[in-house]
Amino acid sequence: MSVIRPRRLRSTPAVRRLVAEAHPRPENLVLPMFIADGISEPQKISTMPGVFQHTEESLKYAAEEAVRAGIGGLMLFGVPAQEDKDSIATVATDPQGILNKGIRILRETIGDDSVIMADTCLDEFTDHGHCGVLGHDAMGREIVDNDATLLRYADMALEQARAGAQVVAPSGMMDGQVALIREALDSEGFEDVIILAYSAKYASAFYGPFRDAVGSTLHGDRNAYQQDPSNARESLREVELDLAEGADIVMVKPAFGFLDILREVADTSPVPVAAYQVSGEYAMIEAASAAGYIDRRRCIEESLTSIRRAGADIILTYYATEAAGWLR
């Protein structure tokens, strides 16, 4: 009897290591971080145990720790004081606004020892919680006004570049956002600032804990601008458009429910591809392991390996610092 035996290549740790295809590496991991205005101690985020809203001091400490662990980049989000939010996200373009301040702190603290990235989106700064400014369509419906929002994104990206961000990351899914940001950056001499485009971003319920993390005041949903989880083709179109507009890196988000999309994008993209293991993915692993239902470390490693195997060159994950420690 001749049995074909794939098990031969699984027989010992050494042979498994020899033939392993996907390897998440510390340098592929990016840590999302939050800096909050008006707090004197780091604040726990109840739905994301182990993740904090940072003060200026604790941001420095956490950034240094992440750099020591060898991670590839830091993605910073700003959390303004509730009373500073308004309908057009004024604080987002204030050079002294909390996010721009945080970028300056990162630049002073870690310089070019890692890659400093900033979220280019209005939702943390608007009182209505949407990713853009509101307006009305021709039928009188209230909408997020695409083209008015683009102007805010261009200003926001410029302030982030001035503060020292090497990467700006438009995450609002407005049409034309990459082109307008590119033009604004180039016109001010920031030709070398990189655009990481959230190209295929789905309207996902798995962002729930993130809304806690940034104190979001969103009522309603983002279904009229982020993608419908039913659709795959649309992602390829979004990626194509962002590439034509000048995206340097494209992203798929969330990661776990959308590994098929990630695979398709990775197969065709001529630029590096990122994937975001979002807050809800983190929260599920944390909750299930706290309950003793799953092995935390193995599940984290398996999730990162799967995202890598599906084609991500870069993984944004709240586990970046911790996982980098294991992977080194």
Q: Write the DSSP string, 32-84.
A: EEEEETT-SS-EE-TTSTT-EEE-HHHHHHHHHHHHHTT-SEEEEEEE--GGG
Residue 23 or 36: the one with the smaller Cβ distance to ligand PBG is 36
* Cα separation, 132 vs 147, whole angstroms: 9
Pairing of strands 43-44, 52-54: antiparallel
Pairing of strands 134-136, 142-144: antiparallel
Task: Determine which residue in the list 278, 304, 312, 320 makes contact with ligand PBG, applying CB under 6 A.
Answer: 278
Kindly tell me which of 210 and 319 has the beta carbon lying closer to ligand PBG: 210
253 flagged as catalytic = yes
Q: CA–CA separation, 328 vs 316, rounded Å? A: 17
**Segment lying near ligand PBG (by CB under 6 A), choices 107-115, 116-124, 154-162, 267-275:** 116-124
Q: What is the pattern of x (binds ligand PBG, CB under 6 A) and - over residues 219-258?
A: ---x------------------------------------
Q: Is 134 exposed, middle or buried (0-12, 13-18, 19+ CB in 10 A)?
A: middle
For the question of residue 60 being annotated catalytic, the response is: no
3-class SS of residue 309: helix
Residues 117-146 that bind ligand PBG (CB under 6 A): 119, 121, 123, 131
153-212: contacts with ligand PBG (CB under 6 A):
171, 207, 210
Q: For ligand PBG, which is the closer residue by CB, 119 or 286?
A: 119
CB of 171 to ligand PBG, least distance (A): 4
Cα–Cα distance, 228 to 110 (Å, whole number): 38
The catalytic residue positions are 201, 253
List residues near ligand PBG by CB under 6 A: 119, 121, 123, 131, 171, 207, 210, 222, 278-279
